[in-house]
């Protein structure tokens, strides 16, 4: 195993934090373990040479670095309370007040896509035959191209589907070889995947009704979280909602968001 020197560790941590907001200060062993194969593949025997390659703005290697250092574990219906709230509170209100019947939803830090695809299934299940009247494609973004490439295939393991209702499994998936399941086009085609760094400026053509950013901010320090939360607030419609992970919190005394229930926040109406 190639070991990180103190200097190399500080450089990598600083680079990832300043460019991507991810704090790896407690992840020295993770960096060593996950980057070892990258070094050996290139015939390098120290992290200094590899970091020099990163600093050359080699986009392929930067992508490789982020893919290796970020964890992308999720599954369908994760943190189900959010999807229950979507179905019981948000969608009924949208049906009463949204005359354009245009829902804008962003899955920020979408990982392998289960969050966005679950949302599509919830919407279809709620509206039923009325679903055709609505425009509700979801923007799903992540910094990891590897995770999104998997999501774009729409193919998942049986374990990932363990919390899906049995009728949804029959309705929205096709069984494939090797106990794999593929999403049907009516779900898969409703999600648009794009690479996006949450530390970069947000440029969207219109504000969102709902933003998911769950279990992403756990990697960030508080000042970075605060800035990101403000950015989410700025791109939400008045009355729009932000869902964060159940292990995450927003500082209520300094945040512009209105607390609704654990991990659910709303932008107020002016």
Model confidence pLDDT, tens digit, residues 154-198: 999 998 999 999 999 999 999 998 889 999 999 999 999 999 989
Asked whether 193 and 151 are in contact (CB, 8 A), the reply is: yes
Please provide the average confidence, as pLDDT, over all residues in the chain: 88
Q: Which residues contact 23 (CB under 8 A, 6 or more apart)?
A: 13, 17, 219, 220, 221, 224
How much is the average pLDDT of 57-82?
A: 75
Tokens at residue 21, please?
């907001």
Indicate the burial class of 38 (C-beta count within 10 angstroms; 0-12, 13-18, 19 or more). Answer: middle
Quickly count: other Cβ atoms within 10 Å of residue 157's Cβ.
12
Nearest Cα to 17, choosing from 72, 68, 69, 86?
Answer: 69
pLDDT for 59 beyond 60: no
Alpha carbon distances (Å) from 225 to 19, 58, 188 = 14, 28, 31
Alpha carbon distances (Å) from 40 to 32, 65, 73, 158, 173 = 12, 14, 26, 34, 40
Q: Structural domains in the chain?
A: 6-69 (1.10.155), 80-266 (3.40.50.150)
Alpha carbon distances (Å) from 72 to 130, 138, 165, 245 = 34, 19, 23, 14
Place of tokens 């605060």: 226
Angle, in degrees to the nearest 10, between helices 6-20 and 47-55: 30
The secondary structure of residue 145, as a DSSP letter, is: H
How much is the average pLDDT of 25-45?
A: 81
- pLDDT, position 73: 66
């Amino acid at each position: 195993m190639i070991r990180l020197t103190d200097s190399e560790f500080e450089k990598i941590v600083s680079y990832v934090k300043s460019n991507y907001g991810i704090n790896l200060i407690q992840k020295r062993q993770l960096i060593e373990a996950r980057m070892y194969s990258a070094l050996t593949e290139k015939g390098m025997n120290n992290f200094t040479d590899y970091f020099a390659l990163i600093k050359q703005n080699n986009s392929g290697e930067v992508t490789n670095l982020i893919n290796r250092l970020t964890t992308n574990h999720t599954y369908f219906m994760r943190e189900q309370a959010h999807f229950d709230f979507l179905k019981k509170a948000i969608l009924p209100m949208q049906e009463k007040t949204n005359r354009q019947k245009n829902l804008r939803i962003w899955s920020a830090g979408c990982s392998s896509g289960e969050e966005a695809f679950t949302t599509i299934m919830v919407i279809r299940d709620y509206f039923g035959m009325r679903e055709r009247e609505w425009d509700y494609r979801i923007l799903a973004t992540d910094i990891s191209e590897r995770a999104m490439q998997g999501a774009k295939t729409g193919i998942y393991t049986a374990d990932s589907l363990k919390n899906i209702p049995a009728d949804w499994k029959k309705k929205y998936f096709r069984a494939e070889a090797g106990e794999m399941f593929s999403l049907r086009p009516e779900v898969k085609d409703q999600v648009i995947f794009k690479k996006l760094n949450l530390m970069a400026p947000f440029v969207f053509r219109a504000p969102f009704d709902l933003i998911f950013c769950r279990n992403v901010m756990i990697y960030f320090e508080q000042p970075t979280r605060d800035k990101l939360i403000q950015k989410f607030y700025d791109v939400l419609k008045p009355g729009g909602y932000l869902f964060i992970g159940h292990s995450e919190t927003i500082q209520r005394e300094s945040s512009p968001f209105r607390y609704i229930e654990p991990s659910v926040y709303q932008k107020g109406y002016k």
